[in-house]
């Protein structure tokens, strides 16, 4: 989603973002993600939260076969690619300026028989929601999309629009600033929110959210 400067540890920690390719192994596939920090900044590199969320999906935390999923602020598309490889029908979204880059990574990493299960589509939070049916998706995925306070209201509106009473939202993030906790507090008004995973090595949390009028035992 975001194509803006991003505060992160300088020096060695940033070197991985400047590599043209980042290679991963998920779902018995080698995935090579093209990165382009200079052209698109934070939208065109793989952040740790995407790796942790992809690992969580591979662990079988949710049933993906036949599932209708959407990835928000996909950037490089890693999470959506992994979800498709694991059997989901995935809509992989970002803002218009990032779509060609996103599409190139999706097409390069999905075998021909799986490519029909993945659609790359524009979604600017809070704006073109009319292109999506209310409650359209079973699973909503977001990796490191909670960091710009001015986007919080639009992101929350988008999550409410795309989810039904049956939908599961999984958000992976590193809690860097108080504003990150502020978003989680906003999320808890319309949704029940619980932390379902923590990766201490990468300091990434995964939160699960479901609409409050859903029965807790479902």
**Residue 24: predicted pLDDT:** 95
For the chain, list the domains and their CATH numbers: 43-211 (3.40.50.150)
**Residue 112: predicted pLDDT:** 96
pLDDT(80) > 70: yes
Of the candidates 71, 132, 67, the one whose C-alpha atom is nearest the C-alpha of residue 102 is 71
CA distances 38 to 10, 18, 45, 84, Å, are: 16, 8, 10, 28
196 band by pLDDT with thresholds 50, 70 and 90: very high
Token look-up 């300091």 returns 203
pLDDT(218) > 80: no
216 band by pLDDT with thresholds 50, 70 and 90: very low
Of the candidates 183, 202, 201, 178, the one whose C-alpha atom is nearest the C-alpha of residue 193 is 183
**Residue 42: predicted pLDDT:** 62
Distance (Å, whole) CA 170 – CA 57: 10
Note the pTM of the prediction, 2 decimals: 0.88
Q: What is the pLDDT of residues 1-11, one digit of tens each?
A: 333 333 444 44
Q: What is the pLDDT of residues 112-129, one digit of tens each?
A: 999 999 999 999 999 989
Coil, strand or helix: which one is 168? Answer: strand
Q: In the chain, where do the E strands start and end?
A: 21-26, 29-34, 68-72, 89-94, 118-122, 137-143, 163-173, 191-199, 204-211
């Amino acid at each position: 989603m975001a194509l803006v400067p991003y505060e992160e540890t300088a020096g060695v920690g940033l070197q991985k973002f400047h590599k043209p390719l980042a290679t991963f192994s998920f779902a018995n596939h080698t995935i090579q993600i093209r990165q382009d920090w200079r052209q698109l900044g934070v939208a065109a590199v793989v952040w740790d939260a995407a790796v942790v969320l992809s690992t969580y999906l591979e662990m079988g935390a949710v049933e993906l076969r036949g599932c209708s999923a959407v990835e928000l602020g996909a950037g490089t598309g890693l999470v959506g690619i992994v979800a498709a490889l694991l059997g989901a029908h995935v809509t992989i979204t970002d803002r218009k300026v990032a779509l060609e880059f996103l599409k190139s990574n999706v097409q390069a990493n999905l075998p021909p028989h799986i490519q029909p299960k993945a659609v790359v589509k524009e979604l600017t939070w809070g704006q073109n929601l009319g292109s999506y049916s209310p409650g359209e998706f079973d699973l909503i995925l977001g990796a490191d999309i909670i960091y710009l306070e001015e986007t919080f209201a639009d992101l929350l509106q988008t999550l409410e629009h795309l989810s039904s009473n049956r939908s599961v939202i999984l958000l992976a993030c590193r809690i860097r600033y108080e504003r990150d906790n502020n978003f989680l507090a906003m999320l808890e008004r319309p949704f029940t929110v619980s932390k379902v995973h923590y990766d201490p090595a990468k300091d990434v949390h995964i939160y699960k959210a479901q609409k409050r009028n859903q029965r807790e035992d479902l």
